[in-house]
Chain A
Amino acid sequence: MADEDDVMMKKIAQELRKPVPVSTSFDARVMRAVRELPRHARRRLWSRLNAPRTITVQPLGWGLLAASVALFALLGAMHASADINRVAKASANFFPKTKATTPDQRVQFVLVAPDAKKVSVVGDFNGWDAQHIEYQAQHRGGGVWSVTAQVPVGHHRYSFVVDDSLWVADPTAPRVVDNDFGVANSTMVVQEQK
């Protein structure tokens, strides 16, 4: 009985081992179905970044790229120091080479504003920033506000800002009309102390 069972099992196994005839388009259909399965975007990007690639190195192309990167860095550095260079070059024409760049000068700004709660100085020397800490005037009593601050040598436009809202030209300095923004400014020329 057992022998008959063994023979039967072998016959079944033989039948199962026979290759099944498959249509020639089966592979293509399977692959298409796999590709259509949703995949996580980050995983896809990670796979792309991780996938090994063959890179062809062309000396001319990579040389140009390296030169461009260097030029880019140089232009950035030149721009950052353009104004400094201009001042330095101008100074070099007028002063001996041993002389350092002209230092900022201390300038006192005074405004009489008895009703003010806050007075600050704005101008092209502080980016017209009314909150600039170094240009906040102190109340000295009797309605007199003043601040002494560093200002670069040269021609400047400036104004007082009272209570963060009212722009007031310096009554003691030359005024310059402002047809664009409607509020007159003051001007001053800061000269190097000798």
Chain B
Amino acid sequence: MSVVARALVALMLAAPAAVAQDARLVARLDKPTLDAVTAIVDSARAAKLPTAPLVDRALEGSAKGSDGRKIISAVKQLSVRMGSARRALGATATADEIKAAAGALDAGISANDLARLRAASGKRPVTTPLDVLTDLVGRAVPVDAATNVVVQLAKSGVKDPEFALFQRNVRADIDRGADPTVAATTRARGLVQRAGTGTKPSK
């Protein structure tokens, strides 16, 4: 093999690895984990999924002291969930929406429910409603009830700051001993009624 041919082959082999590896991952992951995570990130890039959340996930796992096997599994699962999230939300979904929707799927919310929320929100971003939905489920509001509440709020045109206030109020009610489902539906009913009359919610 000539010198030129050998140099070409070396460049072709080196280029993809050099392009794909993130310096932070190189610093924090062992070689087998790094290679596996890099391969998943490359696949996500090829599928036009956001790759930053995958890198962040690996860094998070490393910071939490997880072993390589867990980190690889978590990054792979997130990649799969982001693919499902994008299919549910549509091709125009932003990286933030995909990231929030992947968290919702992890909490047990179905892809169909993501699509319902997308349809109910029109052109408004669904990032904050998805975070609120995920939070409700994490606070023991059943998935069906939580989804119905958040979809109803989205249909009523509730905006992000109101969603955030709703989440804080429900959390406070639950912390004070309220039944999670009752707290969520009661607070939502009040917000929908106010949205219907055009009055601002009180803190």
Contacts and interface: CB of A to CB of B under 8 A. Distances in A.
Nearest to A78: B19
A128 B99 CA distance: 17
Interface string B119-132: 00000000110011
B186 interface: no
Interface string A124-136: 1001111000000
Given A124-B60, A180-B73, A69 B11 contact: yes
Contacts of A76: 18-19
B181 interface: no
Interface stretch (B29-37, B110-118, B134-142, B187-195): B134-142
B100 A191 contact: no
Report the contact-size class of chain B (Cβ under 8 Å from the partner).
35 or more
A57 to B, nearest CB: 9
Contact of A176 (B61, B63, B135): B135
Interface stretch (A19-27, A58-66, A106-114): A58-66
Nearest to A161: B63
A176 B24 contact: no
Secondary structure dominating the interface of B: helix
Secondary structure dominating the interface of A: mixed
Contacts of A179: 106
Given A175-B138, A181-B61, A64 B8 contact: yes
Given A64-B4, A128-B59, A155-B100, 18 more contacts: A65-B8, A69-B11, A72-B11, A72-B14, A79-B20, A122-B63, A127-B56, A128-B60, A128-B63, A154-B95, A167-B64, A172-B168, A176-B135, A177-B103, A177-B134, A180-B61, A181-B66, A189-B96
Interface of A: 55, 58, 61-62, 64-65, 68-69, 71-72, 75-76, 78-79, 83, 86, 90, 122, 124, 127-130, 154-155, 157, 167, 172, 174-185, 187-189, 191
